[in-house]
Amino acid sequence: MPQTGYATSSGKVTAPQADLASVINQCYQCGKCSAGCPVATEMDLMPHQMVRLAVLGDLDRIAASKSIWLCLTCHTCGARCPNGIDVPALLDPIRHQILRDKMDTKGSPVPIFHKTFMDTIKTFGRVYELFLIGMYKLRTKKYFDDMELGMQMFKKGKLHLLPQKTGSLSEVKQVFKKSGLK
Ligand code: SF4
Ligand code: SF4
């Protein structure tokens, strides 16, 4: 039976729209979303826990979590959920608000990585690893972390010296423009 609670925000994060909130409120905590999530083992809040927090109106805890930045938007959770609850639909507006309002993310490098990744896509239309790594290191000032891993990737040809071309850069830029994400 659907829960009657309405997802509202207890703090800085804006509550989800009524239609999304009514979907989220159908959650009965079966955990199928978390069981299928490919990054659940790395998360500090599992997908079903984030949904529960949203139902309880504690969106600030979701915003302060590592999980919100680890979600791959793969939609596995939504496909597995018996109630059709798609966790990224809940997380995307929160991520946008954190970036748009420059909310405090308590020194976590994950939002910086997320922003740098999006800047890379906006600039090149696809991932350009060397630019991504360079910008990330400049922004975090963690210049020597993961050096060994980087060298291994370079030796295996995973890091291209020049950006690879994409034919749809103008379309990608349009998407960014429409989203309002800076
Ligand atoms: S699979 Fe759906 S109903 Fe089950 S816990 Fe996850 S969101 Fe809730
Ligand atoms: S969309 Fe996010 S929360 Fe859902 S299964 Fe994929 S990574 Fe996990």
Going by pLDDT thresholds of 50, 70 and 90, the confidence category of residue 97 is confident
The CB of 79 under 6 Å from ligand 2? The reply is: no
Smallest CA-to-CA distance from 2 within 20, 24, 31, 17 is with: 24
The Å distance, Cα 35 to ligand 1 centre, comes to 10
The Å distance, Cα 93 to ligand 2 centre, comes to 15
Residue written as token pair 């938007």? 73
Q: Give the integer Cα–Cα distance in Å for 130 and 151.
A: 12
Q: Give the integer Cα–Cα distance in Å for 180 and 176.
A: 6
Residue 42 lies in a domain: yes
Residue 119 lies in a domain: yes
Going by pLDDT thresholds of 50, 70 and 90, the confidence category of residue 13 is confident
The answer to whether residues 48 and 31 touch, using CB atoms and an 8 Å cutoff, is yes
Residue 46 lies in a domain: yes
My answer on whether 91 and 115 are in the same domain is no
Residue 49 lies in a domain: yes
Residue 77 lies in a domain: yes
Q: Whose CA is nearest to atom 5 of ligand 2?
A: 37
pTM score of the predicted model = 0.73
- Residue 9's pLDDT is 56
Question: Of 100, 126, 156, which residue is a domain's last?
Answer: 100
- Residue 66's pLDDT is 86
What residues make up the domain containing 66? 18-100
Residue 9 lies in a domain: no
- Residue 111's pLDDT is 81
Smallest CA-to-CA distance from 92 within 68, 65, 120, 75 is with: 68
